[in-house]
Structure 1
Amino acid sequence: MKKSVLLLETIDDDALKILQDHVNVFTGYDDASLTAVLKNQEIHAVITRGKGQINKSLMEAIPALQVAARCGVGLDNVDVQEATARNIMVINAPGSNAATIAEHTLSLMLMLMRNMYESVAQVKQDNWNWRNQYAGDELNGKTLGVLGMGNIGKRVAKLGEAFGMKVLYWSRSKQDLPYTYLSMDEVLAQSDVLSLHLPFTKETGTIIGAEQLALMKPDSLLINTARGALIDHEALLNALNKQRISGFAADVLPEEPPVPGFPILHHSRALVTPHSGSLTASTYRQMCVLTVKNVVAVLTGEKADAKSIFNFSALNDRV
């Protein structure tokens, strides 16, 4: 008898077909449909992407649950501790977004450093004379500080090096890398561009606040493509307003979508994209297909890829 999978969000079409070929698929995209499925179906796996929450209450409502999966890397929306306590396997797609997030990170660096967004906007307004007041710089010769040397951090460091940047880093421990390992405070103080690549956990918490921002160079840039909650945005706004740092760019915010009028979105020296760094066609498909294949493997008695089965030591390795 086929087992049943509940989707909390849409997934890539190729991944959906793989599911449909092997298991019964039900959708719970809103409260009404979710309630109906839970009332009438025995569910063995739940798959989400970035918004659907696989929390304690959902697990309690699905007594036959074997797998909690996310088509993505971070597991902020999956209660991994509760799942572990209930012997529910947690599956994600580690490393699948490393290349695209690294590219997005460098794109934000370039746009901010070269003031590219404003340049394009001015030309679209037929203001070619903007070039007479243009102010910008280049990445070549600058110092890149990377906080967190997991898969993404390593790729960002490599790309930065290719652009002629000197790379410094901090992580939980020193790694065998061709870059300079320093304390976090030293990385903050010496970097021209600081890029965050850490998970948000109880241990990391909000790591960039007023004290950390005060250590940074007045002409430095802060880039965040990791998790919005890593930064105290009130302190960040204050630092930008008082020119304690020169600019900020991010693909993530503490609350998504942000409330209307969220100040950092409209700041003249901030660039924010809508958490779209991993939504390229190639990476979206890869994350969904990889996750789905491993879920199907577990439900059909096959062996899932060990790297895709979450454990807490794997989380520590990303820092």
Structure 2
Amino acid sequence: MNRKNILLLETIAEDAMSMLENASDINILTGFDETSLKHQIENNAIDAIITRGKGQVRNSFMEQLPNLKVISRCGVGLDNIDVSSATKRGIKVVNAPNSNADTIAEHTIALLLMLQRNLYNAVTMVKENRWGDRGTYVGDETHGKTLGIIGMGNIGKKVAHIAKALGMNVIYWSSKKEDVPFSFVEFQHLLTTSDAISLHLPLTSKTEKLIDSAAFSLMKTNALLINTARGGIIDQKELFTALQSNSIAGFAADVLAEEPPVENDPLLQLKNVLITAHLGSLTKTTYTKMCTMTVKNTLAILRNEASMENCVFNKKELDNN
């Protein structure tokens, strides 16, 4: 039997690992650190790579793997993979489309509500035995406010429907109009009219620092900005300036331009900022689904079997999102 070598750059969910371990035609190799990675590359013909979000697969890495057929990511975003180079080399790039839409939509709305209602400070007040400070509480409701969604893909659609159920007026801007019951508006119009703005775009050359000083200058002073997509979509230096000067009212995110942030990052010291550690997809249900879906499709491709529809990306699709 001609066994295929799959190189893991990171750990994956237990159920997904079991799928690999039970595959009689697969050898599992691990390269979790530089030493082990170098050993595997030098001693094995790698047929497929499976990574999550940290493992970087760039052109220089691909050059060392002439037998590489598949690069798979247990997730949705592909900014840790050089999709363009892989496409030119005929390497299939696999992800887990729509696997995290529900959980990221929930996380987005949770961050929005925490920020709008000032819940973090409210909870901290009680934990610090400052019940008497309730008279200083300042918060507001989302009902009746306008939510501007930038990027109306799978996650954006789910966020929109939840926000509508909360009584919000939803508008959106995306690279193309979608068949949704929400108003498509021009980018600048969204920035100037939204009370809250939520980002749901991939990080590409077109979206990097899309939210810059010009964008912040158009936003309402009471606007809240939510980012559960990719940190690089926002110019983080200009974000800090806008928050510190009260040009916008608050920021909540699950992602940053630099992860993890540097120690004593001034952005994290601001009272109107809430950050979670890129864990929106790390619920047990979603994490397992992302990993098992990715492994299943990787095995199918290596075996010349049919894989799930839309699980294979290419550069053209990435640029069109």
Matched residue of 1:307: which SS? coil
User: Which residue of 11, 25, 28 maps to 2:28?
Assistant: 25
Output the amino acid matched with 1:279: L
**8 Å contact from structure 1 (residues 91, 309) kept in 2:** yes
Give, in angstroms, the shift of residue 316 of structure 1: 4.8
Instruction: Determine the structure 2 residue equivalent to 1:251.
Output: 254
Q: Which amino acid is 1:98 matched to?
A: A
Q: Secondary structure at the match of 2:142?
A: coil
- In structure 2, what is the equivalent of residue 130 of structure 1? 133
CA contact (8 A) 1:91 1:291 kept: yes
Moved over 2 A (4+): 311-318
- Stretch of structure 1 that moved more, 14-23 or 105-114: 14-23
Contact 2:112 2:226 in 1 (8 A): yes
8 Å Cα contact 1:113/1:137 also seen in 2: yes
Of 233, 236, 239 in structure 1, the residue corresponding to residue 236 of structure 2 is 233
Q: Which residue of 2 aligns with 1:7?
A: 8
1:235, CA displacement in angstroms?
1.1
CA contact (8 A) 1:150 1:317 kept: no
How many angstroms apart in 2 are the aligned matches of 1:255 and 1:224? 14
Q: Which segments of 5 or more consecutive residues in structure 2 lack a partner in the other structure?
A: none
Once the two structures are superposed, what CA deviation does each residue of 1:31-89 show, in whole Å capped at 9, x if it has no partner?
00001111111110001000001111221111110100100000001111111111011
CA-CA distance at 1:174 after TM superposition: 1.6
Q: Could you report, residue by residue, the CA deviation over 1:180-232 in whole angstroms, capped at 9, with x for unpaired residues?
A: 11100000000000001111111222111111111111111000111101111
How far off is 1:310 after superposition? 0.6
Distance 1:277 1:130 in 2: 31
Q: Report the Cα distance in structure 2 between the residues aligned to 1:145 and 1:46, rounded to whole angstroms.
A: 37
For residue 177 of structure 1, report the CA deviation from its aligned partner: 1.3
User: 1:244-278 CA distances to partner (integer Å, 9 max, x unpaired)?
Assistant: 11000011000111111111111111000000100
CA contact (8 A) 2:204 2:319 kept: no
CA drift at 1:131: 1.4
TM-score by length of 2: 0.97
| Distance in 2, Cα, partners of 1:271 & 1:113 | 11
Q: Give yes or no for the alignment of 1:204 onto 2:207.
A: yes
Residue 301 of structure 1: how far off its partner (Å): 2.1
Instruction: Determine the structure 1 residue equivalent to 2:117.
Output: 114
For the Cα contact (< 8 Å) 1:8–1:52, is it kept in 2?
yes
- Quote how far apart the aligned CAs of 1:299 are: 1.2
Matching residue's letter, 2:33: D
Partner of 2:40: 37
Q: Which residue of 1 aligns with 2:268?
A: 265
Residues 87 and 315 in structure 2, CA contact (< 8 A), matched pair in contact too: no
**Which of 162, 165, 175 lines up with 1:162 in the alignment?**
165
- Mean Cα displacement is larger for which, 123-132 or 96-105? 123-132
Question: Contact 1:71 / 1:93 at 8 angstroms: preserved in 2?
Answer: yes
Partners of 2:99 and 2:286 within 8 A in 1: yes
C-alpha distance in structure 1 between counterparts of 2:43 and 2:64, whole Å: 12
| 2:167 counterpart letter in structure 1 | G
Matches of 1:277 and 1:133, distance apart in 2? 31
Residue aligned with 1:24, SS: strand
Question: Structure 2 counterpart of 1:53, which letter?
Answer: Q
Which residue of 189, 195, 198 corresponds with 1:195? 198
Hey, what's the Cα distance between the residues in 2 that align with 1:241 and 1:144? 23
TM-score normalised by structure 1 residue count: 0.98
Call closer, same or farther: CA 1:18–1:284 in 2, change over 3 Å: same
Checking the alignment, whether the CA contact within 8 Å between 1:196 and 1:226 is kept in structure 2 is: yes
Map 1:78-93 → 2, pairs under 5 A: 78-93=81-96
Which structure 1 segments of 5+ residues have no match? Answer: none
- Number of aligned residue pairs: give it: 318
Q: C-alpha separation between the residues in 2 aligned to 1:191 and 1:203?
A: 22
CA contact (8 A) 1:119 1:130 kept: no
